[in-house]
Amino acid sequence: MRRALLVCCLIASALAVPTVARSAAAAEERRLLLYDPDANLGDIVEIAAAFSRFLQRTGQGWTFQAVQQRETFESLLRQPGSEFAIVSSAFLRTTGDNALSPLLVPSEKNDVYYHKQLVTSKKVQAKSLSGRNIAVSGAGDEASAETQAILAELTKAGVSHPILLSLPKDIDALMALYFGQADAALVAPHSIEVMQRISPKAVASLEVLYETRRMLRSPLCAVGKAAGAKQRETLVQSLLGMAKDPDGKEVMRRMDFDAWVPFQADMLQ
Amino acid sequence: MMRPIPHSVGGLLLLCCLAVAGGCVRQALVVQTHAGPRPNAPVVVVLQSQDAPLFAAAVNGFVKRCDGQVTVITNTRDASSSAVVDAVRALKPQFIFTLGTPAIRLASKAFTDVPVLYAMALNYASMHTDAAPNIMGIAMEPTALSEFAKFRMVAPELHRVAVMYTEGSTDNVVQKAKDELRELDVELLPIAVPPGGDAAKAYKAHSGESDALWLMDDADVMQQFEAVKRISFAQRKPMLASLSDSFARAGALMAVSIDAESIGSQAASIARRVLEGTATVAEIGVQQPIAVRLVVNTKVAGMLGVQIPEDVLPYISEILP
């Protein structure tokens, strides 16, 4: 009887130790969220896997979670330990000042700004884009700054109901234009340089209809008000060293930037 | 100003228990509804043959860009044709988008008065020959031109590329590709392999003048991948593969495959144009898939001494270490 009791106690204590450990870990859990409703599903899966591996390697207890539903994202953001997120600048604009404030900005070749061009074939006039396909890359959803800017220009030119075709990368948007599956493409100038190497003939027939102003790169790493200073510091330090980690580098490649830089208010001007 | 285009809005998940087997109720059809952008948005049904990751990506792309009230019906456990047709008909759709061969086979028989667009259907070309006037589609295979545009992005020096084909089977595909690739200044060097013949031996005998080997969509040649790969490594010539990412994982330098989410976006654009009356079903016909994924194997690149331009890295869908 006594032996049976001892065995029971041992089993109970064996179960209890991990439970206590799990509770402690849960209490200290720090989660970085990614909210990108328009991301390509395949890309998101790969980004989430690489980001998780990178954060795990930093040893600071951070986990990573990608979310596509806004309601889910906002609910997660209210949970303790989930006050950090990577979101588009367009999303930040819609949440106002209270929810999240920018912490880090992505940069590419030491530039935190970018601009895009609306290109089309030389034969096409802006007006004829009504009801036609405009190829945009994954990040170019309706809410994104560059798409909004171009749609505003098109509206001024009398274009109504253009159809946005979502493609994974700017080069895909250009190729859709080249193969006649889109009537215009909204792309970064660099993708045109790459296209020039693939087919100089294709680029020779292109014309830039509009060019956006320089805009702050997106997505930003942002922080909620409830986040502690220590948490903030550990995440910032981890992300600033992201390019040195192979998985971190892969995430950056997929998200199209090569470094994080601290956000400064004058970057928005 | 443009109308807001709907995003995947939570949606109402209804599980319709339509099949009863051995006294147990089985969920055969899963019906998921996404709210439209406005009350009178057209009713659009997506009918998918099964619940598969590629189809899910296509549905995601479609729902994000579709201008209608989208209901996705998934035949998860072989519900009877009549049950599927009844479920679709009850919604009174103005447009049907099918994913998978069984779905288009069923829809093309059951619905002759609604525009039907298919995608992800094998042998679409043979089906389309006898298609009713309400049927249009997105092909399963990218064109050689779109595949090589991606290959050339990584290897701009590609000019003379060997390709093997099964005699009497894929001759016409090679000829078409040969014509298309002139646009990119790529000369295809076809190598005929008799049906059931040794592709590796044929390649070894004729690979001399080529810069690389294109493993095009030819089942007989593709199933000899390992043997052909050994020759290609021995001759230090990269392999460029069609159809599936798995060839890059197995040792090809690069592989292209369709991008399912883009196909969903492409389908949404077609739906909108047909529903708004700016394009007819006949004008749509069968379209090529709008984007291809490119996977590059950097280990193979290193072995073969292929330098991948640094500035194209962001445009590669997946880089294998």
Nearest residue of chain B to residue A71 (CA atoms): B10
Average pLDDT over residues A130-145: 75
pLDDT at B126: 67
Q: Is the pLDDT of residue A231 over 50?
A: yes
Mean pLDDT within B220-232: 96
Answer whether residue B20 shows pLDDT above 70: no
**pLDDT: is B15 or B44 the higher one?**
B44
Q: How far is CA B161 from CA B233, B237, B317, in A?
A: 15, 10, 23
- Cβ-based contacts of A184 with chain B (< 8 Å): none
Among A21-25, A39-43, A133-137, B286-290, name the one with the lowest average pLDDT. Answer: A21-25
CA pair distance B74, B29, nearest whole angstrom: 5
3-state SS, residue B17 = coil
CA of A246: which chain B residue's CA is closest?
A: B321
What's the pLDDT score for residue B116?
Answer: 97
Whether residues B143 and A41 touch (CB distance < 8 A) is answered with no
Residue B19 has pLDDT above 60, yes or no: no
Q: Highest-confidence range of A28-32, B125-129, B243-247, by mean pLDDT?
A: B243-247
Contact at CB, B64 and A38, closer than 8 angstroms: yes
Tell me the two tokens of residue A207.
Answer: 């014309």
Closest residue of A to B144, CA-based? A179
Residues of A in contact with B1 (CB under 8 A): 151, 155
How far, CA to CA in Å, does B109 sit from each of A31, B116, B122? 51, 11, 17
The pLDDT of B3-19, averaged and rounded, is 34
Provide, rounded to the nearest whole percent, the portion of chain A with pLDDT above 70.
84
From A46, which residue of chain B is nearest by alpha-carbon distance?
A: B318
Confidence of residue A99 (pLDDT cuts 50, 70, 90): confident
Q: Residue B22: what pLDDT?
A: 34
Q: What is the DSSP letter of B253?
A: S
What's the pLDDT tens digit per position in A70-94?
889 888 888 888 889 998 877 877 7
Q: Answer whether residue B127 shows pLDDT above 90.
A: no
pLDDT at B235 over 80: yes
Q: What is the largest CA-CA distance in chain A?
A: 93
List CB contacts (< 8 A) between A155 and chain B. 1-2
ipTM over 0.85: yes
Mean pLDDT of A184-189: 94
Rounded to whole angstroms, the Cα distance separating A39 from A48 reads: 12
Note whether B156 contacts A42, CB cutoff 8 Å.
Answer: no
CB atoms within 10 A of CB B58: 30
Indicate the residue of A68, A155, A182 with minimum beta-carbon distance to B1. Answer: A155
What pLDDT, on a 0 to 100 scale, did the predictor assign at position A141?
52
Mean pLDDT over A100-113 rounds to 93
Judged against a pLDDT cut of 50, whether residue B10 lies above it is answered with: no
The nearest alpha carbon in chain B to A250 belongs to B319
Query: Is a pLDDT exceeding 70 seen at residue A17?
Result: no
Q: Is the pLDDT score of B7 beyond 60?
A: no
| Tokens, residue A83 | 């006050």
Closest to B149 (Cβ–Cβ): which among A38, A199, A250? A199
Nearest to A198 among B149, B311, B313 (CB): B149
Percent share of chain B, pLDDT over 70: 90
Q: How confident is the model at residue A8 (pLDDT cuts 50, 70, 90)?
A: very low
Q: Name which residue leads in pLDDT, A142 or B177.
A: B177
Mean pLDDT of A54-69: 90
pLDDT at residue A98, as a whole number: 58
Three-state secondary-structure class, residue B96: strand
> How distant, in Å, are the alpha carbons of A57, A89, A112, A144, B154 from that of A215?
33, 10, 8, 11, 29
**Which of A136, A116, A121, A122 minimizes the C-alpha distance to A190?**
A116
Which of A75-79, A262-266, B228-232 tops mean pLDDT? Answer: B228-232
For residue A136, give how far its alpha carbon lies from the nearest alpha carbon of chain B (Å): 11
A chain contacts of residue B52, beta-carbon cutoff 8 Å: none
pLDDT > 60? residue B87: yes
- CB contact under 8 Å between B290 and A253, yes or no, is no
Mutate to test the interface with B, among A74, A75, A171 (most CBs of B within 10 A): A171
Contact flag B261-A69 (C-beta cutoff 8 Å) = no
State the Cα–Cα distance between residues B117 and B132, nearest whole angstrom.
12
Q: What whole-number distance in Å separates Cα of residue B253 and Cα of residue B157? A: 14
List b or e across B142-179, with b for residues whose CB sees 16 or more CB atoms inside 10 angstroms. Answer: bbbbbbbbbbbbbbeebeebbbbbbeeebeebbeebbe
Q: Read off the pLDDT band of A45 (50, 70, 90).
A: confident
Q: Which two tokens stand for residue A48?
A: 């989430």
CA distance A269 to chain B (A): 26
pLDDT class of B18 with cuts at 50, 70, 90: very low
Cα separation of B121 and B101, whole Å?
4
Question: If you average pLDDT over residues B106-113, what whole number do you get?
Answer: 93
Taking each helix axis as running N to C, give the angle between helix B144-154 and helix A189-198, from 0 to 180 degrees, rounded to the nearest 10.
Answer: 110
- Choose among B10, B272, B293: nearest Cβ to A69: B10
Identify the band that residue A2 occupies on the pLDDT scale cut at 50, 70 and 90. Answer: very low
- Tokens matching residue B219: 């089942």
- How do B69-75 and B43-48 pair as beta strands? parallel
Q: How far is A3 from chain B (nearest CA, A)?
A: 46
Mean pLDDT of A30-49: 82
Place of tokens 């970064």: A188
Look up residue A129 and give its amino acid.
L
Cβ of A142 within 8 Å of Cβ of B2? The answer is yes
Nearest CA in chain A to B272: A163
CA closest to B9 among chain A residues: A69
Residue among A135, A142, A166 whose CB faces B4 most closely: A142
User: Band of the pLDDT at A28, cuts 50, 70, 90?
Assistant: low
pLDDT at residue A94 in the model:
75
Q: From the list B143, B152, B288, which residue is nearest A198 (CB)?
A: B152
Residue A9 is predicted with a pLDDT of 41
Mean pLDDT of all residues in chain B?
A: 88
Supply the pLDDT for residue B264: 95
pLDDT for the residue B15: 35
The per-residue pLDDT for A60 is 85
What is the rounded average pLDDT for all residues in chain A?
Answer: 83
Report whether B275 contacts B66 (CB < 8 A). Answer: no
Average pLDDT of the residues in B169-194: 96
* Per-residue pLDDT at A161 exceeds 90: no
pLDDT of B183 reads: 94
Mean predicted confidence (pLDDT) in A146-163: 86
